[in-house]
Structure 1
Amino acid sequence: MHIGIITSEFPPDIGGVETYAAEFAQALVQLGYRVSVFVHTRHHPIDLPNITIYPVLKYSRHLDRSILREYDVDAWHVMNAAHSWIALETDKPVVVSIHGNDFLNPYPLTGRPGFSENPKLWRFASLLHPLDHWLGKILTTCQMRQALPKARALLANSRYTEQVFLARYPACQGKTVVAQVGVSELFLNSRICKTRNPVPHFLTVTRLSEKRKNVDKILLALGELKKEYAFSYQIIGDGIYKAELESLAEELGLKEKVDFSGRLPLERVIEAMTNADLFILPSSILLDSHEGFGIVYLEAAACGTPSLGARQAGAVEAIAEGVSGFFVEEPTTENIYSALKNYLQDQITFTPENCRAFAENFTWDKVVQKALPFYS
């Protein structure tokens, strides 16, 4: 069977959905399926064994439907709700993975007419682009309301995501399946450090482009803790708020304690997770954005490292309280300060073996098995 995957997130780009799409595709190949991945024309394909990557899409239904008709697949799997329009254009089975932000605040704007990319209108491209974007914001949501109920199945990455999705798209009742996510073998096969660092080492891995990640509040909490405790803190990731966060760290007198590492290759991320004492990412819920699950908490656990998260959204399912991490009820500076102080005072302890054992419950084979019945 030939499975066509449509995605706007795929390596070498970094992120939870990028990881999901690549790992899902590789799990299908391991089960003997033929897999083709369709991405944007600007995408720089990477080599994945036995997976063909086609950088042919414009992320516009109007422009892409004729392109995809040229490819013979047995079923489509869409990795972002905004691409669900394919269910309106094909008689082949369509499965859609939903993550949270993809249906709360649709991206990319696949409903846009694509005026600015019409070769006959190239002279007016700069003028047509704003119109294209404005129409895309309106039409993408309308398109999703038509297309999502026509999918064979909708794979939710958490029970929380399923609940939020059905509240917004009640016409999809009965089509959702909670498949959750998996953890890469690269993390599960990493070495585990048996002892804590002499100076506690904290770690955050995230894109520095979303305020709801609350990295600023972590820094503010650490700014208070530095008066009483020794520690180091590494932030892996890049984004529009990096410079602002670097300035805040300097203002708080944390320049010597905080390392802004930027983007790092996967092997360096695994090394950092293995060497950290505690992973910190207390994300908030916003009206148009939330942590649908949080693969990164599982990745840290797979490396034997516990996490501090906020008891909100999908993080509740990604962290086993008392086993692979703990929570703040609300991600405020005061709560983060108190939680880290309790950790530094050894009032909260974890074992690397228990962290990994929890992560081992999440495999990509289990996720893919939830989709297989709907491809036929």
Structure 2
Amino acid sequence: MKRTLVVTNDFPPRTGGIQSFVHGLVSRLPPDSVVVYAPDWPGCADFDLRQPYPVVRHPTSLMLPTPAVARRAAGLIAEFGCDTVVFGAAAPLGLLAPRVRAAGADRVVMVTHGHEAAWAGFPAGRRLLARIGAHADVVTYLGEYTRRRLAGAIPEGRLVRLAPGVDTAVFHPGADGARVRAVLGLGERPVVVCLSRLVPRKGQDTLLRAWPAVLRDVPRAVLLIVGGGPYRRKLERLARPLGGSVRMTGPVPEAELPGHLAAGDVFAMPCRTRLGGADVEGLGIVYLEASASGLPVVAGASGGAPDAVRHGETGLVVDGRSPREVAAALSGLLRDPVRARAMGERGREWVAREWSWDLVASRFAGLLEPA
């Protein structure tokens, strides 16, 4: 049987969008056809025991394209008889492609995310991506934005779209939202929910700066911010003057994320591009999860985020740097629940039709086969 080695820095139990994407891809392959090589992470021993395929851990929490990592990957190719190698993120581990080919890999597939698109905006980054792509059979991209960015470094013939999938059986309008509302004491108040890591790019600070204007239009509204991260203290300072109209839950278990989304009436994450293009949103899978949950979404116009929203149909794309524009979008949806529900219904239909994991898994399996 053909076997695939997945070499990735991004894998659970470490949390994040890329980790969920790579794990979702791996989990939909036949268990005896895949081996994962990933870094050590707290809790990985218990997690790995629950997986039906082998997971080999590097002794540190980060893997770089060093001789030691190359030797270990080559050893796994020989030990498990792997003929295909997938790099869970093309940069930087894709630099190992010549070594894995020399070790016996006939096919190399590289998955890209937002950071590769950001690298492509700088001359040194484009040169590095060109080196990586020169040794790949396939380089995937998330959407039209990332395709355009990568096209300057990767030959068009090697670029193939592969975006994350959404499990609409997990993310759906009835996913325990009533219980979350009861636990948080939200009652029947209108709720805008933002679920994401608390980092500057995601735009939670813009939401907080926009919130007084929203309250003038919808006085009973609540802003529910779900997630943890290094920006939390600053956001808590911004939220303090807003009193009980803002709830910050901190991190919540993965199993409770669908319920927190379903507790909202509108989803908002007004992301923005930062650091001269070095910090950019690749796609924003959470927008699609919110759509699957039946919510209209308000997304920032950063990078590939607009690829996850049909502006005016499933939600609104706004300038994530403008509290005034964000407030107008939120107030408009909260004051017109019929329009908001219609957007949410169209969003769920769109995700079920075009973003299902079955479709993504079929595409991924096809990429592992020789052309």
TM-score band (shorter)? 0.7 to 0.9
The answer to whether residue 282 in structure 2 is matched with residue 278 in structure 1 is: no
The correspondence for 1:87, drawn from 82, 97, 115, is 97
Does structure 1 conserve the Cα–Cα contact (< 8 Å) formed by 2:309 and 2:315? yes
Letter matched to residue 39 of structure 1: A
Letter matched to residue 365 of structure 1: D
Name 2:34's counterpart in structure 1.
Answer: 35
Give the 3 Å change call, closer, same or farther, for CA 57–320 of structure 1 in structure 2: farther
Letter matched to residue 36 of structure 1: V
Partners in 1 of 2:38 and 2:333 — Cα distance? 43
CA apart distance, 1:83: 1.3
Does structure 2 conserve the Cα–Cα contact (< 8 Å) formed by 1:187 and 1:299? no
The correspondence for 2:213, drawn from 224, 233, 258, is 224
Letter matched to residue 222 of structure 1: W
CA apart distance, 1:354: 2.6
Does structure 2 conserve the Cα–Cα contact (< 8 Å) formed by 1:201 and 1:278? yes
Partners in 1 of 2:279 and 2:115 — Cα distance? 5
- Alignment of structure 1 residues 286-365 onto 2, 5 Å: 286=274, 287-329=277-319, 331-346=321-336, 348-351=339-342, 352-360=344-352, 361-365=354-358
CA apart distance, 1:8: 1.3
The correspondence for 2:142, drawn from 144, 153, 157, is 157
Structure 1 residues without counterparts, runs of 5 or longer: 107-137
1:5-63 alpha-carbon deviations (Å, 9 max, x no partner): 1111122222210110111111223xx66221111134532144422211126512222
Partners in 1 of 2:160 and 2:125 — Cα distance? 23
1:212-243 alpha-carbon deviations (Å, 9 max, x no partner): 21111110110232234211111111111101
> Could you state the TM-score of these two structures normalised by the residue count of structure 1?
0.82
Partners in 2 of 1:67 and 1:142 — Cα distance? 26
Where 2:271 maps in the other structure, the secondary structure is coil
Does structure 1 conserve the Cα–Cα contact (< 8 Å) formed by 2:177 and 2:260? no
- Alignment of structure 1 residues 240-279 onto 2, 5 Å: 240-250=230-240, 253-279=241-267
Structure 2 residues without counterparts, runs of 5 or longer: 182-186
Q: Runs of at least 4 residues of structure 1 off by over 4 A?
A: 138-144, 192-197
Partners in 2 of 1:331 and 1:139 — Cα distance? 28
Partners in 2 of 1:311 and 1:28 — Cα distance? 34
The answer to whether residue 182 in structure 2 is matched with residue 181 in structure 1 is: no
Does structure 1 conserve the Cα–Cα contact (< 8 Å) formed by 2:111 and 2:139? yes
Letter matched to residue 86 of structure 1: L
Give the 3 Å change call, closer, same or farther, for CA 267–175 of structure 1 in structure 2: same
- Alignment of structure 1 residues 91-102 onto 2, 5 Å: 91=101, 92=105, 93-102=107-116
Partners in 1 of 2:166 and 2:211 — Cα distance? 30
The correspondence for 2:65, drawn from 61, 64, 78, is 61
Where 1:350 maps in the other structure, the secondary structure is helix
Letter matched to residue 16 of structure 1: G
1:329-348 alpha-carbon deviations (Å, 9 max, x no partner): 45411101111121232184
Identity of aligned residues (%): 22
Higher deviation after alignment, 154-163 or 314-323: 314-323
